[in-house]
Amino acid sequence: MDVRTLSSSPFHDQRPGTSGLRKKVSVFQQPRYLENFVQAIFATLSDYQGGTLVLGGDGRYYNREAIQIILKMAAANGVGRVLVGQNGILSTPAASCVIRKHQAFGGIILSASHNPGGPEGDFGVKYNVSNGGPAPEKVTEAIYRRSGEIKSYRILNAADIPLDRRGQHTMGGMAVDVIDPVADYAQLMEALFDFDRIHALFNSGLFHMRFDAMHAVTGPYATAILEDRLGALPGTVMRGTPLEDFGGGHPDPNLTYADELVAIMNRPSAPDFGAASDGDGDRNMILGSHFFVTPSDSLAILAANATLVPGYIDGLAGVARSMPTSAAVDRVAAKLGIPCFETPTGWKYFGNLMDAGKVTLCGEESFGTGSNHVREKDGLWAVLFWLNILAVRRESVEEIVRQHWAIYGRNFYSRHDYEGVDGAAAQKLMDDLRARLPGLTGERFGNYSVTTADDFSYTDPVDHGVSSGQGLRVLFKDGARIIFRLSGTGTEGATLRLYVERYARERAEHQHETQAALAELLAIAERIAGIRQRTGRDAPTVIT
């Protein structure tokens, strides 16, 4: 093997966030930038030589070039075998599935999730561990430390591997298997859901849906499963071809960026069911005819109806949600008599709970839902879960949601995102608010009295690790909440997120429009934090 050890020097901005290292494409294209970070990954690991690595990404710009570099570095660093998705494609949940099924020591996923793609867009590298989930904080911090010490990297001088067709290859002493990116994942989905019953729903001629793949990674998965296997009409999957720039769109499945699907679902002759997924396939948006299901309600409804689905027919061990996610699922857990865990934002926090058998379903308000079938949130899985429920209950999406509210009450909930805010201004807002928190307890704002104001901290019940500084909370006597967070998923400026929630038990209140129902709390949030004055923004970029 012609292994070369090339001199390098550190880049000091390679600390991974909650979803790996994300930067502009141009940053990753700098000489040695990608190589340094990948070498830091291998330098952090132990006992991986001769083992299996999973590799793939969401198909965004620079995906193919990065894969060839990583393959050559894997060979030079002693990896025994790499499973790489055909055309470099592997959705994030599919990568988790493949890691678990083939007992790989880990996987490198190339994605910036819901961030824009293309030459001027974003790129990302994330390392997942042997359970299929994102590397825990102790691993990502070790990778960061290594990246700051690096003096060289190892790479094999070899020809590129053809990624456009499936087959077996060798690269130096390493085996490279170019695999069907859909097959293992589709097999797992068929084991969880009643495909025959969902097929019958589509075959009835009385049910129609649209799935927006947003020119991102789930196009091939949705086409193979929804249209080819389950019998949905050809064309059910829209924007199904993965493109390096996502067709110029923003691959984030929300009411703003999936506006074409939203318009279809609000037509007079709208389909019965609509769904969308994001850049790497781990997020989902659920729509009924003229009806939007919040991610928090979606998680609660999946939990309440889990025993209708074959893979969950024996019930749930427990559920978990991120702290900013609404408490709707808490009420389901209480009724079912199962535990409900509140964690920081970031899917890695759910991994310990699932590995310990403490939870079966989990979710985040940022359009992420999943279960213990993999260790990532899973957009298409959530869509299939909804289809299974619809196939059994034969009611509309709106009817199912409103019946749920009638039983459990409604958690009015909304997230306001201020994207691309000046980073210093956003940090100053958070710092000033954090300093003010102790004085808010006991203060009254109109109809709302503050009982607790704090910076959320989490102690993992499995490994007892402590994660602090996870979001500023203002909690009110009647259970209403206002939460402020800075998101770690962007690459430009800062994204300030405001979450507002209140609970309504009486059915007469459930008819109210969400923003109107939350108007007083939104005014209180502005009074407390001064977002408009501090950021110069008159309105959020996105409201969900």
Cβ pair 212, 275 in contact under 8 A: yes
Q: Name the band, by pLDDT with cuts 50, 70 and 90, for residue 491.
A: low
pLDDT at 488 over 70: no
Task: Report the C-alpha gap between 518 and 493 in whole angstroms.
Answer: 28
pLDDT, tens digit (0-9, with 9 covering 90-100), for 340-355? 999 998 888 899 999 9
Task: Report the C-alpha gap between 178 and 67 in whole angstroms.
Answer: 12
Task: Report the C-alpha gap between 70 and 75 in whole angstroms.
Answer: 9
**Final residue of a structural domain among 349, 375, 408:** 408
Say whether both 393 and 364 belong to one domain. yes
CB atoms under 10 Å from CB of 439, counted, come to: 10
Say whether both 361 and 253 belong to one domain. yes
What is the CATH classification number for the domain harbouring 444?
3.30.310.50
Say whether both 162 and 217 belong to one domain. no
Query: Catalytic residue among 91, 96, 113, 322, which?
Result: 113
Q: What's residue 152's pLDDT?
A: 98
Task: Report the C-alpha gap between 354 and 317 in whole angstroms.
Answer: 9
pLDDT, tens digit (0-9, with 9 covering 90-100), for 497-528? 999 999 999 999 999 999 999 999 999 999 99
Kindly give, in sequence order, each residue whose CB lies less than 8 Å from that of residue 44, ignoring residues fewer than 6 positions away.
139, 142, 143, 146
Mean of the per-residue pLDDT values for the chain?
Answer: 95
What is the CATH classification number for the domain harbouring 164?
3.40.120.10
CA nearest neighbour of 355 among 243, 463, 502: 463
Alpha helices in 87-235 (DSSP H): 92-101, 137-147, 183-192, 195-203, 218-222
Specify whether 113 is catalytic: yes
**Final residue of a structural domain among 408, 443, 462:** 408
Say whether both 422 and 399 belong to one domain. no
Say whether both 208 and 155 belong to one domain. no
Say whether both 239 and 367 belong to one domain. yes
Say whether both 232 and 376 belong to one domain. yes
Say whether both 250 and 345 belong to one domain. yes
Say whether both 136 and 204 belong to one domain. no
Say whether both 206 and 321 belong to one domain. yes
pLDDT, tens digit (0-9, with 9 covering 90-100), for 65-99? 999 999 999 999 999 999 999 999 999 999 999 99
Range of the domain at 122: 3-179
Q: How many domains does the chain have?
A: 3
CA nearest neighbour of 433 among 458, 454, 414: 454
Task: Report the C-alpha gap between 262 and 241 in whole angstroms.
Answer: 20
Question: Quick one: three-class SS letters along 121-132?
Answer: CEEEEEEECCCC
Say whether both 291 and 360 belong to one domain. yes
**Final residue of a structural domain among 357, 387, 408:** 408
Question: Quick one: three-class SS letters along 209-224?
Answer: EEEECCCCCHHHHHHH
